[in-house]
Structure 1
């Protein structure tokens, strides 16, 4: 179903102070899998992140990327009576048209926080036949409440970024092709190479400063 964007809100409006939920406690990966399953996403086991992949932390600045850089956005007001249906439709349409995944291969990456004050990591997931990203998904790991999404998704090749943001009175879903061309993201990645956030990462993975440098140098 096609969904039309609602204008008049967006840049200049105050973003919501709500943050996406993180899975804290002893559930670990099993809890993550259960929460994603409710949204219609299945963890693809055996996937490992290749060197030079866009670090999830860099995507936190994606909402600041201007449309002139190729960002395609759909926005919906909280008061829209069809908010749930339209939000899901916008996400699917932008994802397929932008190349996040295809009709024959529904796998993509999603950034998830392993715990409070920890850096997000990419997980490979596959979209199932029944799904609800903006409703049940946003009520779990993909946002702060139903229809209040906060997430970043990336195509398997790292060339398409999809993200959703909750503003003061609206939600937006965006797709950005070739994120490596974004000056906003490149500048933020350069800042992250100073190592000040390295202690928040997984000790078994490359520090954020190195991951950011590898992404910048790969381009």
Structure 2
């Protein structure tokens, strides 16, 4: 039997206070699409990025500062520093959805957070975050020699991302919950 995830316990090391899962009926971009959004660069502007080389002293501290500055200036945070983060709803099921969280006074997204739930280990971020209004995505990235964050705004206008959502909403290999979420998101865009 698959157990529900301990979201409060898994998110706490990164300094995220779990406030609850968003309704699956909310017309939000599915997390799997959000993580792919940096791959669809806009034609008229560049994505905002913060990248730190892994061999830089205090690279996790610097990457945390880059994440916070980019997120603050780019519009990730809502009232009381609340935002959404992609979480696995059930262990091993591959069903990801958005959880509402608040950033605590003390936090470590790129270090302890990435080790606990937001990546593949300490200093290896792999996360997707969404503004409460659903119009700003922040993704954590880890490469061979650097880590960082990418902020994606105005992603609703990216034709390639919408085409991928349309394809995923109709492809039988896409999990049912993700197909439905992609359809709801596209309908909210008027497609």
Report the TM-score when normalising by structure 2.
0.87
Paired residue for 1:52?
A: 27
1:188 to 1:97, Cα distance in 2 relative to 1, 3 A: same
What CA distance in whole angstroms lies between the structure 2 residues aligned with 1:48 and 1:210?
13
Paired residue for 2:102?
A: 126
Give the root-mean-square deviation of aligned CA atoms.
Answer: 2.2
Within the alignment, does 1:82 sit opposite 2:58 as a pair?
yes
1:216 to 1:46, Cα distance in 2 relative to 1, 3 A: closer
Structure 1 unaligned blocks of 5 or more: 1-23, 202-206
The 5 Å alignment of 1:67-78 reads: 68=43, 70-78=46-54
The 5 Å alignment of 1:75-154 reads: 75-102=51-78, 104-113=79-88, 114-154=90-130
- Secondary structure in structure 2 of the residue aligned to 1:37: helix
Give the drift of 1:146. 0.8
Please say if residues 59 and 185 of structure 1, whose CA atoms lie closer than 8 Å, have aligned partners that are also in contact: no
- Secondary structure in structure 2 of the residue aligned to 1:138: helix
Within the alignment, does 1:208 sit opposite 2:183 as a pair?
no
Structure 2 unaligned blocks of 5 or more: none
The 5 Å alignment of 1:2-13 reads: none
- Secondary structure in structure 1 of the residue aligned to 2:36: helix
1:33 to 1:58, Cα distance in 2 relative to 1, 3 A: same
What CA distance in whole angstroms lies between the structure 1 residues aligned with 2:46 and 2:82?
23
Paired residue for 1:13?
A: none
Paired residue for 2:37?
A: 62
The 5 Å alignment of 1:38-49 reads: 38-45=13-20, 47-49=22-24
More helix by share: 2
Please say if residues 81 and 102 of structure 2, whose CA atoms lie closer than 8 Å, have aligned partners that are also in contact: yes
Number of corresponding residues: 187
Q: Deviations over 1:27-56 (max 9, x none)?
A: x34x32112111111111375355321111
Report the TM-score when normalising by structure 1.
0.77
Q: Deviations over 1:85-106 (max 9, x none)?
A: 110001000111010005x521
What CA distance in whole angstroms lies between the structure 2 residues aligned with 1:190 and 1:25?
30
